[in-house]
Chain A
Amino acid sequence: MIEIDRVAKAYDGRVVVSDLSLDIAQGAFCVLLGPSGCGKSTTLRMINRLVPFDSGAIRVDGTDVREVAPETLRRRIGYAIQSTGLFPHWRVEDNIATVPRLLRWPEDKVRRRVAELLALLRLDPETYRGKYPHQLSGGEQQRVGVARALAADPDVLLMDEPFAAVDPITRDALQSELLHIHQMTGKTIVFVTHDIEEALRLATMIAVFERGRLAQVGTPLDIVERPASDFVRDFVGVQGIGLKLLSVRRVGERMRPGEAGTGEPVAAGATLADALAAMIAQRAERLPVAEDGAIVGVIALADLVR
């Protein structure tokens, strides 16, 4: 879906991104991960041409991004940023309708789409459509920011540390909703973060950046279990490695199928970390595992460390 082909970028002779190639498949949730100043944000912004690149090529859906007018390109790609960038003088409704109106959608279609998106982001359309951004909490503002990025139903969504400025509980809820939206819509998402936990939770693929180059590209499991270099190992974190493994492996992989147990079931798709948390909360060493509403097995404390 997105092909980044030997792209380089320097500001006044200072190399920010060098010889970077990355293929992001359709429907992938690709997290660009790295410390600040590693070029991950620049790379994201080169995809919708907010930052011009010096050499190489970027193709979205097979088309070279430099062959279309930047405005046309950007209206086809969703864009959400950390500080939301909501327009303070526009109501929630108008903010979400930005791109549809730039694309001159008929007004009744815009209204329907706004209601649909507010509902998708769990904001009551009638309560929220008329509010101004300053009347919303930080989490609500970020939901509106995500709704606005999704408004014109783009195939690709670019998100630059969208949840970095909200409190941990709100961030957790927003991450769950983004995962849910990703599963429902199958959109290709490119997501920048410096937070390893966030990357492990959300990504189907992670690209770790080190000073303008790719240090490693792989699934969350690859990154944790087989770090390609000392840099990646250090960045992922030596101390918490065991706990991080818990958060990339799923209950379904470790459960004992067919057995039965008592207690509140955990989902087969949940991470082992979720299962551990549920066991601690319920003071139980065995919990039933549910899939599609049916109990399919149990998971025990010992299974987590196998």
Chain B
Amino acid sequence: MSAVEIAVSRRRWAPHNQVLPSLVIVAGIAGCGGGFVSLAPSRLVSGTPVPLWTATAAPLVVLLAAAGAVLFALGFAAPRRALSYLAAAVAAAALFATLAAAGSAAAELAAGAPPAAAIGLGAGFWVVFACVALALIEALQRAAAAAPTRLLAACLAAAGFWIMAKTGMFDALSLAHEYLSRHEIFAAAIVRHTALVLGALVPALLIGVPLGLLALRRQRIEAPLFAVLNLLQTVPSIALFGLLIAPLAGLASALPALAALGIGGVGPAPAIIALILYALLPIARNTLAGIGGVSPAAIDAARGMGMTDRQIFWRVEMPLALPVLLAGLRIVTVQTIGLAVVAALIGAGGLGAFVFDGLGQYATDLVLLGALPAIAMALAVDLLLRLATGGASRRVAS
């Protein structure tokens, strides 16, 4: 065989898409290896790992293996759009199968265990789940799926999860037990978390955008302003929440009217103030970068043709800076959703309350009950604002 022939035959067997086969291999090792779920005598002690094949119903294991094989093979197929959509569909099926496998394994184990036993999700589950989710995202990416298609895929995944949960598929999992014993305060926690995030973002935008504009129009302000905002960003969140307790408590006792409004050293007020302070830097920075990045020629032309300052701002600068501004809003929203979890430490409530309760009780699944919805919320906001940013930047492409 000549060198050329070897090169050609090697090329034929090189995958067009290295990502899918790699994910399948990692998921396969994780699925066969460690604990897919874990079984503990009670929710407060750590459990022993149980592998996928010993607990899960056989058809689900076969389905997962088949999906893995198809995805692996698709990695070697010629890059065609239809095949990418096929990969996405298979990955979506595998995603549901992974969830079902966890539920099925838990139900199987629960049947033969004492009532106090807790069945948690093991490392194997998380690795398989992450790999399958990444495969789905990768396939949609390769298919160059339009924004509405991605949104539809996300909605279908969420709806599928909801239906599975409603039909009691996960009821044997300790995570579901934690949820069921708290489902009333869970909804309230979601609402409170959302309120904390919005309550911080709206004022942060109202302050941060003008600060960014001020830094842009008055060059001398830029350096000191961002020095302060950067300094704020470096204060650890727990410390900042703690530092605000004393001044606000003092303020509330000095002004009873404020205390009557619910403002005090602990609770939502110091949390929202701290979240605003953290949000200011990215908002001001992106405003400066976005508006400052607008082509000076466009602004000169606008002024030279007789636009007023206000018209230049709203008709030229704002629309052209919008993609950067939306990108900043996306980052700051995701950051605030995460930081608001920590705010539970000073009694602000929200999803962080579950996290800190869980940490206090060494109950991992309770920590997850707080953390997973916060992650889901951040991902949803990220997706929605990404779609909005994509729409905005297509219009100003240059």
Whether A102 and B311, one on each chain, are in contact in the complex, defined by CB atoms closer than 8 angstroms, is yes
Instruction: Check: A74 CB closer than 8 A to any chain B CB.
Output: yes
Beyond A85-B298, A88-B320, A89-B320, whether A50 also contacts B306 by CB under 8 A is no
Whether B305 and A79, one on each chain, are in contact in the complex, defined by CB atoms closer than 8 angstroms, is yes
Residues of chain A lying within 8 A (CB to CB) of residue B315: 87
Whether B305 and A74, one on each chain, are in contact in the complex, defined by CB atoms closer than 8 angstroms, is yes
Residues of chain B lying within 8 A (CB to CB) of residue A83: 295, 297
Residues of chain A lying within 8 A (CB to CB) of residue B80: none
Q: Which of B300, B308, B319, B395 contacts A81 (CB 8 A)?
A: B300
* Majority-rule SS of B interface residues: helix
**B285-315 near A? 1/0 per residue, CB < 8 Å:** 0000000000101111111111110010001
**A168-211 near B? 1/0 per residue, CB < 8 Å:** 00000000000000000000000000000000000000000000
Instruction: Check: A132 CB closer than 8 A to any chain B CB.
Output: yes
Cβ of A88 to closest chain B Cβ, rounded Å:
4
Beyond A132-B397, A133-B398, whether A87 also contacts B306 by CB under 8 A is no
Instruction: Check: A134 CB closer than 8 A to any chain B CB.
Output: yes
Instruction: Check: B273 CB closer than 8 A to any chain A CB.
Output: no
- A132 CA / B307 CA spacing, docked (Å): 21
Give the contacts of B310-326 with A (CB-CB under 8 A). Answer: 311, 315-316, 319-320
Residues of chain A lying within 8 A (CB to CB) of residue B298: 85-88
Q: Which residue of A lies closest to B309 (CB)?
A: A71
Whether B306 and A74, one on each chain, are in contact in the complex, defined by CB atoms closer than 8 angstroms, is yes
The residue in B298, B308, B319 that gathers the most chain A C-beta atoms within 10 A of its C-beta is B298
Whether B306 and A75, one on each chain, are in contact in the complex, defined by CB atoms closer than 8 angstroms, is yes
Residues of chain B lying within 8 A (CB to CB) of residue A87: 298, 301-302, 315-316, 320
- A85 CA / B398 CA spacing, docked (Å): 12
Interface residues in chain A, defined as those with a beta carbon under 8 Å from any beta carbon in chain B: 45, 48, 50, 70-75, 79, 81-89, 98-99, 102, 132-134, 145, 148, 158
The 6 closest A-B CB pairs, nearest first, are A85-B301, A74-B306, A75-B306, A79-B304, A88-B398, A83-B297
27 A-B pairs with CB atoms under 8 Å apart are A50-B300, A50-B304, A71-B307, A72-B306, A74-B306, A75-B305, A75-B306, A81-B300, A82-B297, A83-B297, A84-B297, A86-B298, A87-B298, A87-B301, A88-B320, A88-B396, A89-B395, A89-B396, A98-B307, A99-B305, A99-B306, A102-B311, A132-B397, A132-B398, A134-B397, A145-B301, A158-B304
